[in-house]
Chains A and B, each alone.
Chain A
Amino acid sequence: MAFLSIKPQPPNRLTEEDLVKKCKQGNGKAQEQLYKCYADRLYRLACRYIRSDADAEDVLMTAFTKIFRGLDNFTYQGAGSTEGWMHRIVVNESLMWLRRRHNFNLTESLDASIPEPDLHAFSEQEAEDVYQLITQLPTGYRTVFNLFVVEGYNHAEIAAMLEITESTSRSQLFKAKALLKKMLTQEGYHYGT
């Protein structure tokens, strides 16, 4: 994955609502425009859950197929609602892909007396560094961390989504934070000092 130095493209001439309307009417050009407008962000979102670029592309392709099929049931509710709806579809599709290939239950229990690692220094890093460090976490840690910290789900919801127990979810999150702290230290950021 190579990053460009250019800034994000400006919004298209069509408004988000008009674009959705045309896509609902089956306009191929509008669908292509919708894809090109949101594909980059959704691709990076998929890559945050799925480490392999090729697998992320497959997941994104499946997600966009569902997006175009489900547009008839989508109701536009203001600016950003379309992206939020597409975001959820990509996350769900990524979780489905992961559930088929990864057993999230393979995590030993934690000692509850151990304090949870502080990620303050981690949150002060550059955005791209934060993103890259998250993608380097193991699958189980990365998934729970993404769902809890970035997406904002609680442990009960994560347990239901990944078909695990809440204690497993907590354990995965704890280990993810501990590993991020360790990675920051190894990278020379002197985390915790």
Chain B
Amino acid sequence: MERNTEKNIRLKVQEAEQYPVRWNKDELWARMEIHRTATRSKRPVYFSIAATLTVAVLAGVYIYQQTSYTQGKAIPSGGINSAQPAIVNSPLSESKDIPAKIETVTPGNAITQNSARIRIEEEPYSSAAALQATFRDTATVANQETTTSVTIPESPQQQVVTDVDKRPKVIIGIIPPQEQPLVTQQEKNKKFRFLKGKSTNGESEGSQLIIARMN
């Protein structure tokens, strides 16, 4: 009985829903068309924006890589260093290129034993030299009035730390020996005396600490 009642109601409702009704049928279709057209027309815009962003990102990455490569490779070893020779941390065989204003004070071994003497020589930076350096490497030196270069010895191997800013420059260079043989305390004492002024051949055996300061 209950089932039949519910079935009758269901059929009545379905019958009622078959009746035509006046409502905004065409307007609703027009709204749907506008919505669908707008959705379709947005797709090319999204694609073009995505493509533009992709190209821009790829171009940026490419330019960044090229710039990094140029900065790492294209600066000649003699570029800045030729304008300011004190930066050069030359091996021992090239120590004769060091300007006269840089003074060799003590060998490398002596530094580690806290017996080195460091002499700092201050000289005003020559305007003529600065002008010459500007002509040599305008791009690098033009915006820098002073340069500070520091070399910190930690091992017999060469290590160069370069700091460039606008403060008065201090240039410190260490020229380690090519190879450091193991020496006894007695030999070290001999070398110390040798470096104190008993050398006759003009060549040092240990590292050279070079400190120069320029305005």
Contacts and interface: CB of A to CB of B under 8 A. Distances in A.
A32 B1 CA distance: 43
Chain B binding surface SS class: helix
B74 interface: no
A35 B29 contact: yes
A74 interface: no
Which of A9, A44, A125 has the most C-beta atoms of chain B within 10 angstroms of its own C-beta? A44
Contact of B10 (A9, A40, A44, A150): A150
A53 interface: yes
Contacts of B17: 41, 44-45, 48, 131
A153 to B, nearest CB: 12
Contact of B29 (A7, A32, A125, A126): A32
A131 B16 CA distance: 6
A127 B15 contact: yes
Interface in B16-34: 16-25, 28-29, 31-32
A79 interface: no
Chain A interface residue bracket vs B: 35 or more
A125 B4 CA distance: 14
A128 B19 CA distance: 9
Interface in A102-125: 118-120, 122-125
A6 B21 contact: no
Contact of A150 (B5, B9, B19, B28): B9
Contact of A8 (B5, B8, B20, B22): B20
A152 interface: yes
Contacts of B10: 149-150, 152
A39 interface: yes
Given A48-B17, A57-B23, A131-B16, 10 more contacts: A1-B23, A2-B21, A6-B20, A8-B19, A40-B21, A40-B23, A41-B17, A53-B23, A120-B5, A130-B16
24 contacts: A1-B21, A8-B19, A39-B25, A44-B21, A45-B17, A57-B24, A57-B28, A65-B35, A65-B36, A119-B5, A120-B5, A122-B5, A123-B8, A123-B12, A125-B12, A127-B13, A127-B16, A128-B19, A130-B13, A131-B12, A131-B13, A149-B6, A149-B9, A150-B13
Interface of A: 1-4, 6-9, 32, 35-36, 39-41, 43-45, 48, 53, 57, 60-61, 64-65, 68, 118-120, 122-128, 130-131, 134, 149-150, 152
Interface of B: 1, 4-6, 8-10, 12-25, 28-29, 31-32, 35-36
